[in-house]
Structure 1
Amino acid sequence: MSDFLLGEQRNMLTAAKQFIEFVNKGPSPFHVVDECKNLLRAQGFKELRERDSWKVEKNQKYFVTRNQSTIIAFAVGGEFKPGNGFTMLGAHTDSPCLKVKPKSGKIRHGYHQVGVQLYGGGIWNTWFDRDLTVAGRVLVKEGDKVRHRLVNVKRPILRIPHLAIHLNRKVNDHFGPNLESELLPIIASTVESASSAPGSSKHSPALLDAICSDMGVEKSQLLDFELCLADTQPASIGGALEEFIFAPRLDNLVNAYCGLLGLIESCAVDSLNSDPNIRMALLFDNEEVGSTSAQGAQSSLTEWILRRLSTGGSRTAYEEAIPKSFLVSADQVHACHPNYADKHEDNHKVGLHKGPAIKFNANQRYATTAISASILRVIAEKASVPIQDIVVKNDSPCGSTIGPIISAKLGLRTVDMGSPQLSMHSIREMCCTSSISQSIALFKTYYNTFPAVDESFIVE
């Protein structure tokens, strides 16, 4: 192998390992946003608050959060003026998981258990026999104040054990657990926990003890919390040739991370000085449950921020900006599964290491058009990143993304795309190491070149 190829392989592996660090620090959307804030602050992005008045300046970089689970970062081009466009990339911070119920404490047959809700469309049987913990946010009373705090209990404190095959001989024929009664994790035995009976508490004392110990607070300070269950096994590089990433939450932390890095790296060169647009990375919560929330893509958050950034021009500056703007809706795609190849459309079998794929759907489950796909293809060529196409079979259901939601709400040109992976919505997913460096390169080039590429399209 040539020195050039060896160097490319080392760079690819370095990028993948940095992404893995990000995944391991993001067991909940709240942790993901917190880590995004750390990355942005380190590169000179300034935090704004929705409730304040804003004064943004050219060649400056900013970010704003909502609910501490959605974050929008943007960099103002040196040639921007109200009425100019927005170069936008959207992804999401959430993934399917189990969430602790508001009253979660249960005692059954000698065990303390934790009641959970299903969040999103997970492959729930993959949560059995895993070393689980909790992570999320806690509202803590501190004197006469209430503060938002993050918690991530690093040690395994929960487990959902399988029923032994001796007691269920058909378990390998079909395993579909009862999602209310059989998906209850065990946190302790009542024998070991006899000294701390739950009494009137809404939650198992063992759960509250673990949270308080991790945070260094008293139980009396806990007001409420939102906790996700998470696997304690860290993400890792895998495969005999170190070409895979085995990790939780690849859908959609791959694109959340790569989109943010693409924005950050695009601002490290002089191109921002001459950019007529504002470059934006929009990372939303609640995509996995339909985006219908105050912090989801279906809210008015995007429109309100675009309008705020369009002030100071004509009365129609926002309306003028939309036709000049573009959204890359970045969400993972299904790689062709070697054991179930018949589940994939014959001419659209997406492979690992072959680049991101553009998503198409005639029924508008994806927002891609011939124009938006062509724009991305031109940008990908400039970035030297290969592009694939994906269409779901007519006899298979098709998922959707934030792309059609934002596109319809704002009248915005949009392309849906994503990197290929296997085991989507499992507790442990799988993608290729090349996806990270390819996606960062594609998104960086998109931010740097979109206005010029857009000018080259004559479609009116």
Structure 2
Amino acid sequence: MAATTASYPGKEYLLAQAKDLIKFINASPSPFHAVDTVRNMLKAAKFEKLSEREDWSGKLKPNGRYYFTRNESTIVAFAVGGKYKPGNGVSIVAAHTDSPCLKVKPISKKSKEKYLQVGVQLYGGGIWHTWFDRDLGVAGRVVVKKKDGGFGHHLIRIDEPILRIPTLAIHLDRGTSNNFTFNNETQLLPILATASKVLNGNDLTKAKDYSNNIDPPHHPVFIERLASELGVKPESIGDFELCLYDVHPSVLGGIANEFIFSSRLDNLCMSYCAVEGFLASLGSSTRCPLSDEEGIRMISLFDNEEIGSRSAYGADSALMEYMLRRIHADGKPAAFEESVAKSFLVSADMAHAVHPNYSDKHEANHRPYLHKGTVIKFDANQRYATTAVTSALLKEVARIENVPLQEFVVRNDTSCGSTIGPLLSSRLGLRTIDIGNPQLSMHSIRETAGSDDVGHAVTLLKCFFERFTELDAQLSID
């Protein structure tokens, strides 16, 4: 394989990437907002929107740039090489847009002890005690009835602390400082308001109902606030999907700005790195411009990874297969199957950095550190899909470009998480590697990552797109 190495970008580049990630996360409080943020980045890069409802025959051209969304919470973008022929390989980086959170229940109206409360569902495996005493807003999408009888999709974000889950005073439970336990249904319940302040002393049942139900499913004051944010009438709101989120923005921290303190680093960090690396590989200064590319470059950002990916827009759906078949539909018979054998998937999801206070939780020889580069994740039981072949190829990319990499396996006495890599690998037969940037406090409402590692991952993924076709031609392993 190639023997030359490149000089690595400097501190200014790494800091700039960290700051851009922070902007990306702050703009993306829900999967719907994350997809919208990515869509705007793609539009700025001259990508053309496709619809899954339409025929793609004859639409996809060499050097073309395309994207489509499903459910407005999953987005796929791809660029067709200038020398592409049906049956050639696809280089893919996949990540996910969702994070553990609390979601508003379909019937959320609750009242107790003269407080108005909002019923919530647990989404994913969050560290739920970190949600207490945080300033919580809501974000997501609202379906609004139009005057002509149709329905429209609207993003909404109330970036104010309208909700809060207060802890119990230590005087009323002396053991709470040593053993903080709570019931997820009855005690992880946010407060919206006091009844007297909202209703001016009127009985709760006299509040206006915008749902035409005998017993309204949501507090009318909550519906009114949603309608006010959207500039519509309360009665025009058909339904909604809303996430609670910490309104405190993502920030740089540490004495040398070495940390990123943020919600949703898992997995908006790797989503950002995927998009940024992908777009950078299409730039004018790239080592392999799109006009010289024989394959297709692609990013796929899925929803619902945190709950197993089993949805119509998750990685365990038929979305990826259908899309790849459509790309090759104008080619020869078996072009899809030939392409899959030539393709390569980088599954990009955050990894566990070694914790200074719990270092014994890591296997002694596999302790990823912040600022030391992206982590390759291995598991003999295929909870991660990395193989020696896929690892070797990415290591060669990193070596050529002088990008740092680390390796991780979980201890034998500890259970291992998983991600979308094994799902897509087994469903499609793709060669796959699982990677991710190291972080602390994974699944907390506030997580921690290293500021340098954002630039590390962006550079790694950019170079993967640039180098894949060249390096894959040098592999003699089926």
The answer to whether TM tops 0.5 is: yes
Q: How does 1:234-383 map to 2 (within 5 A)?
A: 234-269=249-284, 271-383=289-401
Q: Alpha-carbon deviation of 1:176?
A: 2.3
Q: Give the match for residue 232 of structure 2.
A: 217
Q: Alpha-carbon deviation of 1:8?
A: 1.9
CA–CA separation in structure 1 for the residues paired with 2:299 and 2:336 = 18
CA–CA separation in structure 1 for the residues paired with 2:81 and 2:94 = 19
Q: Give the match for residue 212 of structure 2.
A: none
Q: Which moved more, 1:8-17 or 1:431-440?
A: 8-17
- 2:436 corresponds, among 418, 425, 434, to 418
Unaligned runs of 5+ in 2: 1-6, 210-214
Amino acid at match of 1:363: N
CA–CA separation in structure 2 for the residues paired with 1:413 and 1:352 = 28
- 1:8 corresponds, among 10, 14, 18, to 10
Q: What's the CA shift string for 1:139-173, capped at 9, x where partnerless?
A: 00111120000000011100000000001111111
Q: What's the CA shift string for 1:349-372, capped at 9, x where partnerless?
A: 110000011000010000000000
Q: Alpha-carbon deviation of 1:457?
A: 1.5
Shift >4 Å, 4+ stretches: none
Does the residue aligned with 2:138 lie in a helix, a strand or coil?
strand
Q: Alpha-carbon deviation of 1:383?
A: 2.4
Q: Give the match for residue 87 of structure 2.
A: 83
Q: Give the match for residue 404 of structure 2.
A: 386
Q: Give the match for residue 431 of structure 1.
A: 449
Q: Give the match for residue 52 of structure 1.
A: 54
Does the residue aligned with 1:223 lie in a helix, a strand or coil?
strand
CA–CA separation in structure 1 for the residues paired with 2:41 and 2:424 = 26
Q: Alpha-carbon deviation of 1:94?
A: 0.1
Q: Percent identity?
A: 51
Q: Give the match for residue 161 of structure 1.
A: 166
Q: Alpha-carbon deviation of 1:382?
A: 2.2
Does the residue aligned with 2:177 lie in a helix, a strand or coil?
coil
Unaligned runs of 5+ in 1: none
CA–CA separation in structure 2 for the residues paired with 1:165 and 1:215 = 40
Q: What's the CA shift string for 1:235-257, capped at 9, x where partnerless?
A: 00000100110000000001111
Q: Alpha-carbon deviation of 1:177?
A: 1.5
Q: Give the match for residue 176 of structure 2.
A: 171
Q: What's the CA shift string for 1:275-323, capped at 9, x where partnerless?
A: 1111000000000000000000000000001001112222110011011
Does the residue aligned with 2:72 lie in a helix, a strand or coil?
coil
Amino acid at match of 2:193: A
Q: Give the match for residue 106 of structure 1.
A: 110
CA–CA separation in structure 2 for the residues paired with 1:383 and 1:281 = 21
Amino acid at match of 2:245: A
Q: Give the match for residue 123 of structure 2.
A: 119
Q: Give the match for residue 183 of structure 1.
A: 188
CA–CA separation in structure 1 for the residues paired with 2:275 and 2:88 = 22
TM-score by length of 2: 0.94
CA–CA separation in structure 1 for the residues paired with 2:400 and 2:217 = 57
Is the 1:366–1:403 contact (alpha carbons within 8 Å) kept by the matching residues of 2?
yes
Q: How many pairs were matched up? A: 456
CA–CA separation in structure 2 for the residues paired with 1:131 and 1:88 = 37
Is the 1:188–1:206 contact (alpha carbons within 8 Å) kept by the matching residues of 2?
no
CA–CA separation in structure 2 for the residues paired with 1:111 and 1:119 = 24
CA–CA separation in structure 1 for the residues paired with 2:400 and 2:142 = 45
Is the 1:47–1:64 contact (alpha carbons within 8 Å) kept by the matching residues of 2?
yes
CA–CA separation in structure 1 for the residues paired with 2:182 and 2:78 = 44
User: Is 2:216 the counterpart of 1:201?
Assistant: yes
CA–CA separation in structure 2 for the residues paired with 1:170 and 1:393 = 32
Report the aligned-residue RMSD: 1.3
